[in-house]
Amino acid sequence: MRSFPWPDAFAVARLRRRVPALLIRLEKNLYALCLAISLLAPVLLAQGGADWQSRVRDSVSNRNLAAALSIVEQRLQAAPDDLEAHGWHGRILAWTGKWQAAESEYRYVLSQVPNDTDILTGLADVLIWQQRWDDALTVLNQASSLEPDRADILTRRGRVLRALHRTKESQENFRKALVTDPANLEAKQGLESFRPEPRHELRVGTDNDFFNFSDPALAQGISLSSKWNSRWSTSFAQTFYQRFGEDAAQFSGAGTWRFTKNNSLTVGGAVAHDAGVIARSQAFFELGRGFQVSREGIVRGLELHYQQRWLWFADARVLALTPAVTFYLPDEWTWSLSITPARSRFPLTSPAWQTSGLTRITFPIVPRVTANAFYAVGTENFAVQDQIGSFSARTMGGGARFKVNARQDIAAYLASQDRSQGRSQTSLGLSYGIHF
């Protein structure tokens, strides 16, 4: 077995002399390493923070709130004390309608940084959406004391003060916002909201039906709609018909009572000199209820309606039942669907049921122009004699409304109906409305 020699005395002495120098060099290297780590750590952490925030912003700009929420929650798992992540969590929860959870997140951040105006305005938005006006004003007062000339805070205060019926203070906040930001559209609209809104609409118009089997049928009408207050509104109309060589006239009226914020009842009827081409009389009622669904989803809200209408012709009786739903979509789009089972009874015949359906989509084109397109199947107009009976039809068309100014508008429509038995009908109409 090979043996290792013991170091001699001179080697041991040399080693003892070199140890202090080696320790000093090692100490310097460790100090340099620690210094480098301390300098680089904030940079690395900042880069990591910037990365998740940029991904969140990208997801939000693409309206992918589910992905943004997932990124933020992953960040909170990795860094539970990250206040930026808690702030983003509150924003996304608020945008998805989870207002109580969003409020908790905002208040947690404010417990750590009570003077963060962005978090204060986010909390104010949640309180405004819940119509907690006094609480929202308290939060906005704090934010305003920190940044008194910030336009978005001033416009929020204007809205809340308007809801609290503190008119002068609300107007003052909107004016201050416009001084800071002259292009602030919300502040301009806020000031305009104090101008008396038109309560009445007077509309005159004409409808023209052209057939491939008969002479044209014409109608001219004038109507007056009035909104008396937040609960009551009325409408009256006089229509003159020229159909198939006969002249007829009809007067109709209706009243609407909004008994809660989201519920309404409408009752109305009509009487006519029918000349055998329109209904002699009508009566109807309609129930409506609205729902708010989400502020950020595809469907923001919806309205449900049910109408029941009775029509009495010279030789026929009609009962029409119409359930309908309207969906409120982003960017002021709406989509409505209705189905009408109708029971018709003629002399010497048994009652018969027919069903028609209608779908319509309405959308803005430019700020002053709103358009719509619709498709219907079945006999969708039971007010005139030639629209009831045993025939099938498919109708498609569209229309547009041009807002000339705050007091005037022009509306028009065009429709084409393909009936059974090789018959067709083309309809067009034009009307002009004055608001006062």
Return the CATH fold of 115-195.
1.25.40
Please write the tens of the pLDDT for every residue from 313-348. Answer: 988 899 999 999 999 999 899 999 999 999 988 887
Taking residues 22-38, report their average pLDDT.
50
Pick the CATH number of 1-103 from 3.40.50, 1.25.40, 2.40.10, 1.10.287: 1.25.40
Q: How confident is the model at residue 21 (pLDDT cuts 50, 70, 90)?
A: low
pLDDT, greater one: 204 or 7: 204
Answer for the pair 272, 251: CB distance below 8 angstroms, yes or no: yes
For position 380, what pLDDT does the model report?
60
DSSP secondary structure letter of residue 47: H
Taking residues 28-55, report their average pLDDT.
56
For position 22, what pLDDT does the model report?
46
Whether residue 76 is predicted with pLDDT greater than 70 in this model: the reply is: yes
Answer for the pair 380, 340: CB distance below 8 angstroms, yes or no: yes
Q: Where in the chain are the domains? A: 1-103, 115-195, 200-435
Q: How confident is the model at residue 294 (pLDDT cuts 50, 70, 90)?
A: confident
Answer for the pair 235, 223: CB distance below 8 angstroms, yes or no: yes
Q: What residue spans of 147-216 are helical by DSSP H?
A: 151-163, 167-180, 185-192
CA distance 38 to 52: 22
Answer for the pair 364, 370: CB distance below 8 angstroms, yes or no: yes
Beta strands in 274-351 (DSSP E): 281-292, 301-312, 317-328, 334-345
Whether residue 19 is predicted with pLDDT greater than 50 in this model: the reply is: no
Please write the tens of the pLDDT for every residue from 185-220. Answer: 999 999 988 888 899 999 999 999 999 989 999 999
Whether residue 392 is predicted with pLDDT greater than 90 in this model: the reply is: no
Write down the pTM of the prediction.
0.66
At the second CATH level, the architecture of 200-435 is Beta Barrel (2.40)
**Fold: same for 1-103 and 115-195:** yes
Taking residues 290-312, report their average pLDDT.
92
Please write the tens of the pLDDT for every residue from 87-142. Answer: 999 999 999 989 999 999 999 999 999 999 999 999 999 999 999 999 999 999 99
- pLDDT > 70 fraction of the chain, expressed in percent and rounded: 86
For position 25, what pLDDT does the model report?
58
Beta bridge partner(s), residue 167: none
Q: How confident is the model at residue 2 (pLDDT cuts 50, 70, 90)?
A: very low
Average pLDDT, the chain: 88
367's tokens? 């700020």
**What is the per-residue DSSP string for 201-239?**
EEEEEEEEEEESSS--EEEEEEEEEEE-SSSEEEEEEEE
For position 10, what pLDDT does the model report?
47
